[in-house]
Structure 1
Amino acid sequence: MKRFALSGLAVILVAAATVIAGEVELEGVKCVVAPKPATEGKSADYKEGKVYFCCGGCAGKFASNPDKFAVNANQQLVATKQYEQKACPMSGGDVNPEITSTVAGTKVAFCCNGCKSKVDSAEDEASALKIVFNDKAFKKAFAKAEAK
């Protein structure tokens, strides 16, 4: 009986997640754990939003150590428009909408060319991601998007 009740609860949770996930555009969005397309069927709550995975295995890896995947999860929250940029990720200052770079497919604005050059001169995309979407920069520059 207990197993039946837990199975029913799991079905309800997946159905609810699917309804909520339907509001998020996942085209071009990668799994937080693996470099594969994210799907609506696999997600987890994260920072007042949802992050999406390619499979249950990746969802399990994230659940066991979300801090390990925080940079990718933060970027995905912005890519899925659940969070929006409010300030420069480097300085925390006002952004100049004309000074931008694209980091892992996500457009990011900066306050000045000095901040932009720190990201543009990163060794590779993974390094640029860490600069812009680490927890400290994310908290400084991004906020939950207001419901429209």
Structure 2
Amino acid sequence: MMKKILSCFAILLVAGATVVAGDVDLEGVTCVVAPKPATEGKSADYKDGKVYFCCGGCAGKFAANTKKFATKANHQLVATKQYEQKACPMSGRDLNPETATTVAGTKVAFCCDGCKGTVEKAEDDEAKLKLVFADKAFAKAFKKVSAE
């Protein structure tokens, strides 16, 4: 019973934070929780940006356990151009444009071929996402796009 109450509360909390996006292009962007297209109608505040979901149920799951979905949420912040890459996610060093590659549909670059190779050799897309967009790597490499 307590789980149901907490789940309902989490859904209401996220629903209250849901806004219609202004300048975010969601073409090809998937929900942070489920492998379905994200919609403008369901979003939540996250790291000075917004993450988008396919439905209210996914929004509730995210609100209940943000840490579980952090890697995909970080990836979505970059995919929606709310954050941009400023450094290598592996080392934190300056980027070498010649090392650019695509990770889960998002262009990323590294400081050297060694860092790029580490990501390219990862077992699968999920492992690559974790290497580039997990909280520690994300904090090293990506910054909020400033409004100009």
TM-score above 0.5, yes or no: yes
- Do the aligned residues in 1 keep the contact of 2:17 with 2:43 (CA within 8 Å)? no
Unaligned runs of 5+ in 2: 1-13
Aligned counterparts, 1:101-116, within 5 A: 101-116=101-116
The alpha-carbon deviation at position 22 of structure 1 amounts to 2.3
1:39 counterpart residue number: 39
Unaligned runs of 5+ in 1: 1-9
2:71 counterpart residue number: 71
Residues 54 and 11 (structure 1), Cα distance of their counterparts in 2 relative to 1, 3 Å cut? closer
Deviations 1:97-135 (A, max 9, x none): 111121110000000000000100010000000000000
- Do the aligned residues in 1 keep the contact of 2:15 with 2:42 (CA within 8 Å)? no
Aligned counterparts, 1:13-32, within 5 A: 14=18, 17-18=19-20, 21-32=21-32
> What's the TM-score once normalised by structure 1's chain length?
0.88
Q: Residue 62 of structure 1 aligns to a residue in which SS? A: helix
1:121 counterpart residue number: 121
Amino acid at match of 1:123: E
Q: Residue 92 of structure 1 aligns to a residue in which SS? A: coil
Deviations 1:54-80 (A, max 9, x none): 000000000000000000000000000
The alpha-carbon deviation at position 11 of structure 1 amounts to 9.2
- Structure 1 segments of 4 or more deviating over 3 A? 10-14
Identity of aligned residues (%): 72
Larger Rg: 1
Residues 55 and 117 (structure 1), Cα distance of their counterparts in 2 relative to 1, 3 Å cut? same
Residues 11 and 68 (structure 1), Cα distance of their counterparts in 2 relative to 1, 3 Å cut? closer
> What's the TM-score once normalised by structure 2's chain length?
0.88
